[in-house]
Every structure is written in C-alpha cells, then in structure tokens.
Amino acid sequence: MRLWGGRFGEGPDSRMADFTRSIEVDAELALDDLAGSIAHVRGLARAGLLTAEEAEALERGLAGLRDDVVAGAIAWDPALEDVHMNLETLLTERVGALGGKLHTGRSRNDQVATDMRLWTRRAVGLLDDGILDLERSLVDLADREGDAVLPGATHIQPAQPVLLAHHLLAYVEMLERDRGRLTDAKVRLNVSPLGSGALAGAGYPLDRAATAADLGFDGVSANSLDATSDRDFVVEVLSAVALTMVHLSRLAEEITWWSNPRFGFVRVADAFSTGSSMMPNKKNPDPAELVRGRTAGVIGALAGVLALIKGLPLAYQRDLQEDKPAFFAAVRTLDASLAVMTGLVTTLVVSRERMRAAAEEGYTTATALADALVRRGVPFRAAHHIVGGLVGGAEAEGIATLAGLPDEAFRAALDGSDDPAARRLAHERGIAAALRAAATVEGSLAAADVVGGTAPNRVAEALAAAKGRLGVE
C-alpha cells in the first residue's frame, strides 16, 4: 500500500520515514482500532455504502485480525508507519480489494481520536481496579492493627497521638478522591469522535449515534474540528494519574521512614525488600523508593502533554502523535505502582510497641490537656500558656510525659496563672488526677470525639464505613 497517495511522485526519504513512524508505540491501540473499524463497517452498511455481504466479509476479516493481535501473531511492519495502516494493509491482504472500502467516510484523524478514547476508557477501568485493591489492603491493615497508636506529626515533629487506623484511612480518603477524578474524567471522554472525518465531518449519511452506541459511548462529539484535535481527556486522566502517583509517593515516603530501625514502626517483608551489593546488613524498601522516584516521571508526562497542546491551532496537527508515549507510560507506571504498593502494605508487619513509645515522646498530649482546662472554664489562650509552662517544666526536670508530672506541678501551674478560672481550679479536689488522665495517650485519643477525629469510636465508625463501601468483610 502506498502511504503517500497519488499526490506524490516519490516516497518519503528514509530519514523522514524513520522520524515519523509510530508503530512501535501505537501498536498498543490495535484492539481499539479493530473495535472502531468493526463499528465503522456496520455504520457503512447502515448507510448503504456496503452491501450486507461486503460488511460481513470485512467484519470477519477484522475479527480474524483481532484474534491474531490477542495471540501476539501480528508482525508489525515499520514501513507502514502506524497501527492503522498496518491493520488496513493486513485486512486487504485477507479480503482483497474490498479492504479499500474500509476507510470510506473516515480519516486517520477521527480514527485515532476514537482509538485513544477507547484505550483511555479501558485504562480508567484498569486503574480503578488497582486503586480499589490498594484501598482494601489499607483497610485490612487498619482492621488488623488499627488500634496501634503512633505520633501524628506536623512540621515532621511530634504533634498529637493518633490511631494507626486513622492514619491509614487518610490514604483511603485520598485514593477515593483519585477514583472520583478518574470516574469524572471518564464521563467527558466517553463521547465518540468517529464520523468527524479529517476535520469537517464525514461526507456520507453516517448514523454517528448508532456507531457510538455500538462502541459503548454515551454520545457523539458536537463539533468535528474539536473532535479530531481534542486531547483534553488525555490531560484530565493524566492529571488524575499524576495526583494518584503523588499520593502513593507520600505513602511510600512514610513507609521508608517507618521501616528505618530508628523508627522501627513497621517491618517490610523480605519479598518487597532488596539487599546491598556491598553491605550485608542492608534491607532496603526499594519498591517504595521507586514508586516515589517514578512519580517524578508521571508528573513530567503531564507537564509534557500540556506543553504539547498549548500552541496547536485547529484542527489536527501531527504533534498530537506525541501524546501517546508519555500517556501510555504514565498509565503503566501507575498500574504497576498500585500493584507493588498493595503487596507491600498487605505484608507489612507493625510494631505496636515502637509506635506507642514514639507516641509518648514529645509531650504529644499537651493539646488534650489544654482542652481539658478549657472544658473547665479556662480560656484557651490561658490554657495554652499554662500547658506550655508544664511542658517546659517537665522537660527541665527530665520527666518524659505530662502524665508523669506530680500533683503539685499541676496545682502550681494553675495557681500561678493570671486567669481567675485557672486559679480557682488549683484548689478543686481531684483536679490533678483529672488533668493527669486527660494527659495520657488514651485521654488524648478519646478527646478527639468528632466526625473525622481519631477517637477510637469515631475511627471504628469510619473503618466500618470504608469496609462497607469497599466490600471488605
């Protein structure tokens, strides 16, 4: 088949042919291209452009090609430039001159736009399954080890105690938003551009809506210029992919720190660790590190596609050929990253003792102690000042926790306050015991009894809701 058509007297220079071909990348679209072609054949038959016998022969030939693609039996010819011309050439070899009718009313412009939407729709389903698997592994770990306590942090400093389940469910929330973004993008991408031609629309009475329905689209594009040149759906899905990778990277970062013996909060399974070529003692959480590292490439892919389309006039431009390498690679990266993070989380071993010991450090119950004073009538700013003094005193005396302070320390801090309510509290019977209870890890956890808080009853509710939503037993 002559790719350059009757307009040209000679074929392309070999350097140009090598530079412009895309079969090494867009062979990925083969099944989608064949699905689009089968639907197009049916549309041509409905329009009276093919006889029933011709349509049947073409569809039979395309179905045979589909079987060969699935079996890996196709030898792609780089001289035929792209997946579309390869498949059309192979079809013509099988059905004869009839294969030349396949491209009636269709351009490679609306053809590739259709293929890309079909591929992206499949990718969204694949990624949604992967995200669900990771969410379920996080929920399983939260159910198994969730009442372990660790130090919640801000500024990478000890802040307040939180339940491990609460921490893990934060990632479930992130991943649910990621699923939502992919689902939302799927709504907009599920529109058929087929029938838009090169840019002005097909020159035949094709029933675009019927063909769209055959392909599982929700409708047809409203403007042929936009349809053939639109890659918003690539950007939207790639944006969701990049943000999901960022969320995985955050989890990976925490696991790398938690598995460091200085923390010792978790132990990564041998199956998800590597050693060192030099240091026999090493056990490295390489999968987590690579997820973190590959996130950079996916972010770069998003930036690259945005830069690719920012200056393109209507309608189709050959620049758009370059959307595929970055997009396909980003989807593959996220799919693999979800799988490896699911395995890593599923096999994590938690050290409750190390987490609990760390949660006791840094006077993490100070906020709960201040809140206990507020509930007894002390203004928050006065309570903040009083508890800050208690922290300073405990630190100076080498007392590791606020709950470890003696009774006289609580009374003296209250009695020395400028606030009258605090001074009155200093003389209440049992006040030191009450404040000491509030300053324990359990008291701190229980005090955060609001929707979305880390109080055990609230976390239990959130965990039950997540299990129900995700179908976890």
Please identify every residue annotated as catalytic: 155, 276
Rg (CA), the chain: 31
Contact 431, 423 (CB under 8 A): no
Residues 6+ apart with CB under 8 A from 430: none
Cis peptide before 288 (omega within 30 of 0): no
CA distance 458 to 468: 15
Per the CB < 8 A criterion, the answer to whether 149 and 168 are in contact is no
Q: Name the nearest CA neighbour of 62 among 94, 105, 25.
A: 94
> What is the token pair recorded at 456?
């055990």
The CA-CA-CA angle for residues 319, 320, 326, to 5°, reads 105
